[in-house]
Amino acid sequence: MEISFILLVRAIFLLILGQCVFSAEVPALILFGDSTIDVGNNNHLLTLAKSNHPPYGRDFPGKRITGRFSNGLVATDYVASMLGLGSATVGYLNPEAKGDNIVRGVSFASAASGFYRGTAKIYNVLSLEDQLKLYIQYREDLARVELRFLGVRRVGVLSLPPFGCLPSQITLYGLGKETCVKNLNKEAQIFNSKMLKLLQKLNGTDGMRLAYVDIFSQLKDAARFPAKYGFVEGRRGCCGTGLVEASIFCNKFSIGTCANASKYVFWDSFHPSDRMSFLLAKTQLPKVLHDLL
């Protein structure tokens, strides 16, 4: 079964622990993934998979358009803040990603990326393999700031989201019903189940500690019962009609864009709103730290 390219991989993030110049238990946050946590890397690539235009970023501090696929911050920005690592993460391809700005971590995530390298190649973005190569370069950059060797010892892996509850997928495969598409959610659950078993098997290998981050359950629950989380809309995104608009199709000319994105579970037809991202970070981070620290 084919799944739209932007759904292939949601995010992988690394909580890197070790002796460092910071007193925090988690001295750096290194991020790999797709549009869920792309904080602007694609701005510096020749690709259509960008969000460097209004209304993206309209609720970002200072109302800056950063290349995030959100009306404001993304979940890992909140994670970084909760860990005391700064108010927002920086993309490695950003010219500002140098010196002290990269000491507490960076994001290599690239919108339209996926596990399959060919997918990223089609859209001229960073594949997961490309992102890992950049991580090697990042370690060399850190050496120039005279930090000790930064080794990966704590890894958190995000689950796939409930594909069937994304507005775009309800529109495409919902047969006119505004309810989550069961077979798409089932596919995600099967993948998540296998990934969880793999993480449990690998946990403890070579001193590694691994944590499974379940965003599937909370996002699905919010989409189905938005009022439970203080939202008014869980089936449509804020941008445009909320049914199909994302990336270049979510723009300042999109008719129908909502005035208050905090009332919506989804910002566009694929991505959570700023507030939903905050709730995911707030709920999941304590669980991850419990498993990793």
Q: Which sequence positions are flagged as catalytic? A: 35, 268, 271
Q: Quote the tokens at residue 1.
A: 């079964």
DSSP states of 229-262 = GT-SEEEEESSTTSSS--GGGSSTT-TT--S-GG
CA 135 to chain centroid: 17
Residue at token pair 């707030």:
282
**Ranges assigned E (strand) in 171-244:** 209-213, 233-237
Tokens of 219: 């996002």
Name the nearest CA neighbour of 275 among 287, 285, 260, 265: 265
Round to whole Å and give the CA distance between 55 and 240: 10
Q: How far apart are CA 233 and CA 224, in angstroms?
A: 9
Would you call 74 exposed, middle or buried from its count of C-beta atoms within 10 A (0-12, 13-18, 19+)?
A: buried
CA atoms of 12 and 155, how far apart (whole Å): 8
